[in-house]
């Protein structure tokens, strides 16, 4: 009798993707509700971690891509293409590859979280986590950005491991 248990990749992918999207939406909603007006720091852990509401109409790390509806539509299309590619990678992953499922779930959930934000508002993606060490200032980010970043690092490690295993003749 075949197992009715979901594949390990699904057990990693879906809960992480959903968790990132929900946590991102909830925290952004709270940031907008409690941190207005924008650009005023609210210390959380001294001056190292502050909550500062900002709106990012650009891409990751605040890289500008132009303004207006055309730039926004272009970003939406790029993210949709990325999500299709990520889901294709998920579908092609072996059922037992939980690490690849986890990495893809984190990246996909983060991409979807920021996409939802971009579609909801012309102001841009809500960012609010502000990290500083002395005079060094990390860019302001959100839960979706953290999901994409952690997931991308994990994805690079997993793919490197798979490539290494394939070139040595072992299964990943």
Calculate ∠ Cα 162-166-169, nearest 5°.
140
pLDDT tens-digit profile of 121-145?
888 899 999 999 989 998 899 999 9
Is 85 a residue whose pLDDT tops 90? Answer: yes
d(CA 112, CA 28): 14
Average pLDDT, the chain: 91
When pLDDT is averaged across residues 96-122 and rounded to a whole number, the result is: 96
Instruction: List the catalytic residue out of 24, 97, 130, 145.
Output: 145
127 among known catalytic residues: yes
Closest-CA residue to 7 (of 104, 72, 78)? 104
Q: Give Rg (Cα) of the chain.
A: 18
Q: pLDDT confidence of 66, banded at 50, 70, 90?
A: low
Quickly state the pLDDT bin for 67 (edges 50, 70, 90): low
User: Residues 3-40: pLDDT tens digits?
Assistant: 688 999 999 999 999 999 999 999 999 999 999 999 99
Domain extents in the chain: 8-33+49-167
**Is residue 49 very low, low, confident or very high in pLDDT (cuts 50, 70, 90)?**
very high
Does the model's pTM come out above 0.75?
Answer: yes
Strands 42-45 and 49-56, bridge-based pairing: antiparallel
pLDDT over 80 (residue 61): no
Q: Give residue 171's pLDDT band: very low, low, confident or very high (50, 70, 90).
A: low
Q: Phi/psi class of residue 16: alpha, beta or left (left: φ > 0; alpha: ψ in -120 to 50)? A: alpha
Query: How far apart (Å, rounded) are the C-alpha atoms in residues 140 and 124?
Result: 13
60, pLDDT greater than 90: no
Q: What is the pLDDT of residue 168?
A: 79
Catalytic residue of the set 24, 97, 117, 127: 127
Cα 111 to chain centroid distance, Å, stands at: 5
- The tokens of 62 are what? 């605040």
Active site residue 97: no
Question: Concatenated DSSP letters for the chain?
Answer: ----SPPHHHHHHHHHHHHHHHHHHHHHHHHHHHSPSTT--EEEETTTEEEEEEEE-SSGGG-----SHHHHHHHHHHHHHHHHHHHHHHHHS-TT-HHHHHHHHHHHHHHHHHHHHHHH-TT-EEEEEEEEETTEEPPPB-HHHHHHHHHHHHHHHHHHHHHHHHHTT---
């Amino acid at each position: 009798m075949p197992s009715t248990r979901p594949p390990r990749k699904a057990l990693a992918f879906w809960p992480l993707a959903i968790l990132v999207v929900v946590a991102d939406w909830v925290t952004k909603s709270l940031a907008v509700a409690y941190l207005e007006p924008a650009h005023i720091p609210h210390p959380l852990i001294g001056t190292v971690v502050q909550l500062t509401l900002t709106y990012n109409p650009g891409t990751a790390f605040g890289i500008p891509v132009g303004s207006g509806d055309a730039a926004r539509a272009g970003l939406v299309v790029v993210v949709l293409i990325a999500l299709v590619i990520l889901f294709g990678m998920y579908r092609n992953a072996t059922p037992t590859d939980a690490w690849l499922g986890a990495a893809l779930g984190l990246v996909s959930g983060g991409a979807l979280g920021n996409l939802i934000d971009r579609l909801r508002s012309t102001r841009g993606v809500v960012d609010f986590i502000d990290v500083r060490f002395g005079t060094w200032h990390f860019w302001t980010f959100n839960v979706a950005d953290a999901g994409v970043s952690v997931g991308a690092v994990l994805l690079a490690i997993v793919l490197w491991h798979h490539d290494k295993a394939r070139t040595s003749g072992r299964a990943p």
